[in-house]
Amino acid sequence: MLKQTVLITGANKSIGFETARRLGELGYKVWMGSRDLARGETAAQLLRDMGQDIQVLQIDTASDDSVKAAAERVQREDGRLDVLINNAAILGDMSAPSEMQLSTIKAVYEVNVFGPIRTTQAFLPLLKASAHANIVMVSSGLGSLHSLSDPDNEFASVNILGYNSSKSALNAVMLSFAKELADTGIRVNAADPGYTKTDFNHHRGYRTVEQAAEIIVRLATLDQDGVTGGYFDENGSIPW
């Protein structure tokens, strides 16, 4: 039986690293996506020391050339991909919407929205070569328009124009791919890992990376009859 393969972008630290650890523990061959090759190798060695099958894949999801080269390497070495986890993201500027520079918003979208589109398109032929495949878009509760418009929601006051709207857009991107790929058996879903203590938020989150990775791993390991086109946290569906 062929070992299942997974690519996780932005996997050299935090939630991406924990997701890699969990899937490696389950027996997956993990392609650890990292913009910085040295940081990726340092992180990968920690998991290799645990006996896991980890390959570092240098990939900058904001670069067409980088993503293309990454897909070509996986094609040469494996010929297929069973799971793609689009995890790489940036926060960007947190200034007021009326003061946020358009260039900053564009930079956030380049990574958080166009990056997953670019990566999914590039790796789709490899995913189609799998017996059954999963795509997970790592979104955020801050992408939920329902939640952010509810004054009683704990995050209603978090009004980050670039980041929040990029995650709302990512949910829409996920749904578009899910509709297109429904007849292929490839499931596409969005995961909300919750407010997690990471470098991303200067460790202000109250959830652990272990908790955050739970829903990502669950969606990554769906069987061929699994759900598609959904937006989930560990407790189930969440409102758009």
Tens digits of per-residue pLDDT, 105-139?
Answer: 999 999 999 999 999 999 999 999 999 999 999 99
pLDDT in the model for residue 194? 79
pLDDT in the model for residue 202? 58
pLDDT tens digits, residue range 139-173?
999 999 999 999 999 999 999 999 999 999 999 99
In angstroms, the CA 161 to CA 225 distance is 37
**Residue 96: pLDDT over 70:** yes
User: 9 vs 18, 100, 144, 160, 224, CA distance in Å?
Assistant: 12, 27, 22, 23, 23
User: 49 vs 44, 52, 54, 151, CA distance in Å?
Assistant: 9, 7, 10, 47
Polymer length of the chain: 240
Domains defined along the chain, listed by start: 5-237 (3.40.50.720)
pLDDT in the model for residue 1? 61
pLDDT in the model for residue 195? 72
What is the chain's mean pLDDT, rounded?
95
pLDDT band with cut points at 50, 70 and 90 for residue 208: confident
